[in-house]
């Protein structure tokens, strides 16, 4: 009982909306991945430049001296670094924490996470943390969005990775920017979807009207 234009409208609406939803979701994920990774890598270079000089003894020993621990603790107090980083951990090669903002974690061994393994392979890993790991005791108490980053620390003058620094960065502003980017993305997708649907429907409706007109004319001639 539906004419050609109505049939097309129903069928194309489902297909176009489903397709544009997939495209919008993919763009959304790419934006989040790109922004978080760029932010994480940039901050990782910044943090590593502060941390690396004070953990070089790990190239020779399996632990940090009291002096190095005191220096690392001072990095997060009354410094520009401490304004951005709320928690810091340094991991040894045996998945043991050799330094942590939460002193009770120092010396403990935890199952290596994917981010930790990625850092040991020489790459920076960053993501919005779900704070579901056993060692995330301090971070869960903060109660705000955090960007978790793992960054390799190299031996001075060499290419050997001697430690991995894990840090948590306040991500409220980043989360807000991503929300605004998502909103703009979905608005563009919605407008594009309506434009494509309207354009195609207009073409088909014109064709449908022509067919209906011709059919009516043919029916009239048959009756004559």
Q: Which residues pair with 166 in a beta bridge?
A: 89, 150
- Residue 142: pLDDT band (50, 70, 90) is low
Q: What is the pLDDT of residue 45?
A: 76
Q: What is the pLDDT of residue 129?
A: 64
Tens-place pLDDT, residues 93-133: 888 888 888 888 888 888 888 888 888 888 888 887 666 56
Burial (CB count <10 Å: 0-12, 13-18, 19+), residue 220: exposed
Please give the average per-residue pLDDT across 45-66, as a whole number: 81
Please give the average per-residue pLDDT across 196-203, as a whole number: 84
Instruction: DSSP for 56-72, please give it.
Output: GGGGT-SS--HHHHHHH
Q: How far apart are CA 166 and CA 159, in angstroms?
A: 19
Q: What is the pLDDT of residue 131?
A: 61
Answer yes or no: pTM beyond 0.85.
Answer: no
Region class of 202: left (phi > 0), else alpha (psi between -120 and 50), else beta: alpha
């Amino acid at each position: 009982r539906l004419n050609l234009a109505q049939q097309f409208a129903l069928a194309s609406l489902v297909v176009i909306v489903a397709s544009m939803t997939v495209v919008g979701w993919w763009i959304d994920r790419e934006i989040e991945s790109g922004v978080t990774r760029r932010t994480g890598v940039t901050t990782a270079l910044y943090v590593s430049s502060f941390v690396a000089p004070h953990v070089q003894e790990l190239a020779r020993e399996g632990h940090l001296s009291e002096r190095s621990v005191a220096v690392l603790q001072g990095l997060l107090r009354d410094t520009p670094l401490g304004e951005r980083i709320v928690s810091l951990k340094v991991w040894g090669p045996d998945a043991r924490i050799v330094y942590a903002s939460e002193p009770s974690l120092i010396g403990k061994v935890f199952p290596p996470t994917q981010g930790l393994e990625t850092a040991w392979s020489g790459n920076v890993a960053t993501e919005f943390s779900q704070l579901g790991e056993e060692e995330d005791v301090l971070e869960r108490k903060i109660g705000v969005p955090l960007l978790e980053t793992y960054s390799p620390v190299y031996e001075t003058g060499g290419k050997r990775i001697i430690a991995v620094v894990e840090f948590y960065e306040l991500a409220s502003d980043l989360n807000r920017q991503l929300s605004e980017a998502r909103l703009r993305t979905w608005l563009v997708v919605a407008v594009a979807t309506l434009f494509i649907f309207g354009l195609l429907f207009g073409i088909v409706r014109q064709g449908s009207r022509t067919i209906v007109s011709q059919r009516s004319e043919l029916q009239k001639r048959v009756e004559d």
